[in-house]
Amino acid sequence: MNATDRTPADLLRSALAADPGRPLVTFYDDATGERVELSVATFANWVAKTANLLQGDLSAAPGDRVALLLPAHWQTAVWLLACASVGAVADVGGDPAAADVVVSGPDTLSAARACRGERVALALRPLGGRFPQVPEGFADYAVEVPGQGDRFVPFAAVDPDEAGLIVAGREFSGAEVVERARAEAAGLGLTGPGARILSGLPYDTWEGLNAGLYGPLAGGGSVVLCRHLEQLGEEALAKRVESERVSVVRR
């Protein structure tokens, strides 16, 4: 993190320059047994590919609204940073009918069809797997993203003072996301490099987004992001906290 960072995409670039090999997002799905660990470099590569897909194939531009109908998941984190890279507004759980692009998980495809713009579907299968059959009217993210470029350059400069995120009805500029994440880092226990937070919070509130992505990014730490954490018993959770060297838990 640098003092000059003003958007979430800036935070990611600084993390990449500082230590590309350190873990950033470790994801568990306790309904499937999936575990995925993404270093800063691997995460940034996914973000670059997704931003290229968003800007190029989906024609998203700064200020366009991208409705993210997705759970707390490592691919959701990628889309949040891809939107920040392009300058599009990530509208978490937003109205697809009011969006320029909708990005949907497998459980919200029906609602996502209200979008009159581009539609992307994520199977959310282990290892980023594809849909067995592509949902009608949608592009399959797992099919479209691998061929995208590994480096991203926005067509237009991203203004940090413009809207960048909408969650729970609250709009944030990119600069506000960074400033608030920095201000709340200490309260999350993210007080320096190596700090590691386990979050079982959903992504539909600022608190969930901050614990599950923005806080660790702003504080130089990392997150163990857990979906369906309620299916994990207390003993198993304690073992995970120990094995993952977690310093703080939010659930």
Alpha helices in 141-173 (DSSP H): 141-144
Q: Helix or strand or coil: residue 177?
A: helix
pLDDT at 192: 75
CATH code of the domain in which 232 resides: 3.40.50.12780
Q: DSSP string spanning 233-249?
A: -HHHHHHHHHHTT-SEE
pLDDT digits (tens, 9 = 90+) for 194-204: 899 999 999 99
pLDDT digits (tens, 9 = 90+) for 108-152: 999 999 999 999 999 999 989 999 999 999 999 999 999 999 999
* Domain annotation covers residue 199: yes
* Domain annotation covers residue 2: no
* Domain annotation covers residue 163: yes
- Residue 44 structural domain: 8-250
- Cα gap 114→97, rounded to integer Å: 5
* Domain annotation covers residue 171: yes
Q: Helix or strand or coil: residue 118?
A: strand
- Cα gap 88→203, rounded to integer Å: 18
Question: What's the structural domain count of the chain?
Answer: 1
* Domain annotation covers residue 1: no
* Domain annotation covers residue 178: yes
* Domain annotation covers residue 197: yes
